[in-house]
Chain A
Amino acid sequence: MNIKELIESGSLELYVMGSLPPEETKEIDELRLAHKELNEEILKIEDAMIAYADTHAVKPKEELKEKIAGKLNFSVNLDLDQERVSSILIQMPGIYRFAAAASVALILTFAVTTFYYASKYHDASSQLVAMQSEKTQLANQVKFVTTESERIKGELAIASDPTKKMVALKGVNIAPNANAVVYWDKESGKTYLKIGAMPQITSDQQFQLWAMVKGKPVDLGVINKDGSTFIEMKDVQNAEAFAITLEPLGGKPVPDMDKLCVIGNV
C-alpha cells in the first residue's frame, strides 16, 4: 500500500483512536517518521480527535482537585512567609534591622535575577523540546534511507556481477503475459530470482522455480516473497533452462507441466 492509499484507507483515523492492532500501529509509527505528508495527516487527525474530546469535556467536582494534588509528589519550592519575616524584623535592634534589610535586599535582587533566568530557561527549553522531536525524526529518516540504500547496493551487486548470467523467463501456457529474470552464477551455482509480472494466486498456492539439468527438472525451491527484489533460491550446476510453475502451497517434488508459467533457456 502506498502512502496515498494509506491516507485514504481510514487506517490513520483508527491509529489515532488507538483501535488498530499492535502490528499495524507499529508499522505506522515507523512510516510516519519517514514520510512527512503522512505525519502531517496524522497530526491533523489528532487535532480533530482532540477537538472531539473537547466537545465532550465535563468539569469535575471542585473538591477533586485537592484530592488529586494530595496524591502527587511535587518538587520542593522555597516560599518566604512574608508576615513572619516582618514580625521578626520589628523585634530586632537597629543594626541587626539594617543588616536584615540589606540581606532582604540581596535576596530580592537574587530572586529577580533568578526569575529572569528562569524565564529565559523556560523559553530555551520549549525550543529544545521542538528541536529534540525534530532531531528524532531526522535520525529516523536517516536510518530508513541507510537501510534502503544498503538493500539497493546488495541488489545492484547481484544484477551487475559479470560472473552472473541473466536469464529472461517469458510467459507461456497459463500465464502468457508473465515474466521473471534469473541471475545465475555458473561457477558457484548461486541462483537469484527477480519476479516481474506474475498471475494472481490464492493463499493455498505457491510458485516454484525449476532448473532443467540434462533434460530433467530440478527443484530450486518455492518462492516466498520477503520484500526484497532478488530472492535467493537453491544452488544449481549445469542448468540448461529455468522455469516457474504454479503448485500447491509448499511445492512438489516433480513439476506439473500444465501449470508452467514462465520459461527461459540459458
Chain B
Amino acid sequence: MGARTRYLEQHKKYDEALLYTELKSKSRKAFEYLYDNYSAALYGVIVNVLRNEEASNDALQEVFVKIWNNFDSYDPSKSRLYTWMLNIARNHSIDKLRSKNTADRKELKNDKEYVQSQKGAETFVEGIGLRKLVDHLDEDQKQVIDLLYFQGFTQSEAAEELNIPLGTVKSRVRIAIHKLRKFF
C-alpha cells in the first residue's frame, strides 16, 4: 500500500462541510465529532510548540474553548476550517510560549524531559504510519518549517537563527512544501 493511499484512508474522516454544519449546531454531538477527529492534530501542534505536557494540556482546553466560542468569526473564503483550527492552536501556543521568558525556553530545548517527550511523540506518529512521509524532507528543510510553523519565527528570525540569507528561507520552504505536496 503506497503512502498516498494510506494517507487518504487515514483522512476519509475529514469532511469540512460536515464539520462546519456540526459546529454550527453547537451540540454535544458536534463536540464529540470535533474532538474525536481533530484533537490529536491540534494537540500535536500544541505539543510541538510548547514541549511541555502540563502546559500543553491547559492549552488544548483553551484552544477548544476558543474554537467553540469564536466559530462564528471563521471566514470560509480565507482558509479551510481545518487550517483555521490549526492556526488557532498554533498561535495560542506561540503566545503562551512568548509570554514566558526566552531564556527558560532555550533551557527547555536541551532538557532531558524534552528529549523524552519527543521520543514519545515519534512512537505515536510511527503508529499511524505517516512518519515516513516526513522523512522525504532533508534535515534543513524540516528545520526551517519547524521554526516557522511550530516556533512562530518570522522569515527574518528564521534566517538569523539558521544563519542563512533571507531569500534562502523562502526557497527552502517552497521546496519542502513541494515535496510534501507530491505525497498528499
Contacts and interface: CB of A to CB of B under 8 A. Distances in A.
B177 A56 contact: no
Contact of B177 (A49, A53, A129, A140): A49
Interface in A47-88: 47-61, 64-65, 67-69, 71-75, 77
**Nearest 5 CB-CB pairings of A with B:** A10-B170, A126-B17, A51-B184, A133-B76, A10-B174
Interface residues of B, number: 67
B121 A64 contact: no
Contact of A125 (B21, B44, B131): B21
A17 interface: yes
Q: Secondary structure of the A side of the interface?
A: helix
A45 B170 CA distance: 14
21 contacts: A10-B169, A11-B170, A18-B87, A18-B90, A18-B91, A19-B154, A47-B181, A51-B130, A54-B11, A56-B125, A57-B41, A57-B125, A58-B40, A58-B43, A68-B60, A71-B61, A72-B65, A75-B25, A77-B28, A133-B77, A136-B77
A132 interface: yes
Interface string B127-146: 01011011000000000010
Interface string B147-167: 011001111001000000000
Interface of A: 8-11, 13-14, 16-21, 29, 33, 43-61, 64-65, 67-69, 71-75, 77, 122, 125-127, 129-130, 132-133, 136-137, 140
B44 A53 contact: yes
Given A18-B91, A71-B64, A129-B76, A58 B124 contact: yes
Interface in B12-70: 17-18, 20-21, 24-29, 31, 35, 39-41, 43-45, 47-48, 57, 60-61, 64-65, 68
A133 B48 CA distance: 32
A74 B27 contact: yes
